[in-house]
Amino acid sequence: MSILHAIESVRAEFQRTLRAVLEEAGKNAAAGGGPGGIESLRVRFLGRKGQVTALMARLKEASAEERPQVGKALNQLRQEIEEGIQKTQDSLEALACEEELRSEWVDITLDLERRPLGSLHPLTRIQYDLEDAFTSMGFEVLDGPHVETDYFNFEALNIPAHHPARDMQDTFYLEDGNLLRTHTSPIQVRGMMRLRPPFKIIGPGKVFRCERIDASHEVTFHQLEGMMVDRDIKVAHLIYFGKALLSRIFKKEVEVRLRPGYFPFVEPGFELDIRCLICGGPGCQVCKGVGWVELLPCGLIHPNVLRSGKIDPEEYSGFAFGLGLDRLVMMKFQIDDIRHLHSADLRFLKQFP
């Protein structure tokens, strides 16, 4: 076989091999398309023992007149093979990249910067605001158990077994004789037993009562108890802290009224009411048509309660209050039904981002 004929044979063989590599790569981008596959193709035709190198060695077989033509044909063959290998490598890399992108597909039309974020429940927000407000005034935040004993929930708060105030509580009793706390006042008793005057404490938490559910009443709701014990505490101290609290929460002066109220654990006792912020005064379902909302039962601590806390009422006095957080949230955010706060309805909760 002449050298020119051999050159054409190598050229044809290279083209067949190239097509086979591309067909195999089309079936599977990884098969034959990696660096190893391209390198084996290069070695087979352009390596030290490759077919083009072997043809170069046969150049001496050509006559003097044929050598220029044969040399030109060999150079052209080498250039075609180099360009073919490079083009094939580029194509296979493109196929591999396309396969990788397909396996890691991302919808670039998605607005990843606007992921829905959760938020604090309005009750939690109000509780945190209150804790910040009171701690800034020197109060300590305490906690207590949901399941209480009769002593801490009633007797230590001057509500003995025969006391009619027990009928006002609608208590959930447990089989072991304990109960679900009906107010957060037991936190105050536990605090008095642990702390020595003077002190200022608050106790936020969940409470439970067997009540008829309506727009302003729930069986599970939230309170915040507050207490200050020191020498010579007067009603004026109670009014000051009450108004400071409401101004901090509502970010404005709100209309309040203080009227007599009966609570066994305070003497004298008061009801601090706030002008209804839902209707502004004419009356609605939240304020029961009277224009005022009962918000802050309070008073000076009864001597019997101080004694239960191991505090001498002859030496110390104090004030206490209980704040309904649910009603406070309703006033602040203009919510006309307490049941929204416990419904877990995302349409409602999304209004408080």
The fold for domain 122-349 equals BirA Bifunctional Protein; domain 2 (3.30.930)
pLDDT > 60? residue 34: no
- How buried is 163 (Cβ within 10 angstroms: 0-12 exposed, 13-18 middle, 19+ buried)? middle
Q: What is the pLDDT of residues 53-85, one digit of tens each?
A: 777 777 677 777 777 777 777 778 778 777 777
The residue ranges of every structural domain in the chain are 3-113, 122-349
DSSP 302: P
Copy the structure tokens of residue 147: 């399941």
Residue 230 is predicted with a pLDDT of 95
Omega of the bond prior to 268 within 30 degrees of 0, cis? yes
pTM attached to this predicted model: 0.61
Among 185, 231, 189, CA closest to 204: 185
Omega of the bond prior to 145 within 30 degrees of 0, cis? no
Return the amino acid letter for 50. Answer: G
Indicate the pLDDT class of residue 33, thresholds 50, 70 and 90: very low
Q: What is the pLDDT of residues 294-312, one digit of tens each?
A: 878 899 999 999 999 999 9
Among 230, 237, 252, 227, CA closest to 331: 252
